[in-house]
Amino acid sequence: MGVLSPVLEISAAVSFSYGGAPVQLIYLANIATAVAAPAAGFFICLMLFRKDVNQGMKQPRILQACMIISYLFV
């Protein structure tokens, strides 16, 4: 099985140490990803509009517009 076996063993050990099943650990990881990805994208979008971050560089107007449009639908 290669790398998959140790990953499953570690995740099972972590899951059982918290008193749950390995499937619950996968479920919680999916929820965390669903929450963290939009939050990280939102903060990246905020950084795109800061003047001090883009100092000395051309403003990424197309990227800014695309990020705003994509976050209107989230």
62 is written with which tokens?
Answer: 């197309």
| pLDDT computed for residue 47 by the predictor | 85
Judge whether residue 7 has pLDDT over 80.
no
Average pLDDT over residues 47-58: 82
- Residue range 18-24: average pLDDT? 73
**Residue 36 neighbours by CB distance under 10 Å:** 10
Instruction: Calculate ∠ Cα 13-33-69, nearest 5°.
Output: 175
**Percent of the chain at pLDDT exceeding 90:** 0
Helix 22-48 vs helix 61-72: angle between axes, to the nearest 10 degrees? Answer: 130
pLDDT band at 2 (very low <50, low <70, confident <90, very high): low
- CA–CA–CA angle 22, 23, 29 (5° rounding): 95
Average pLDDT for residues 1-6, to the nearest whole number?
A: 62
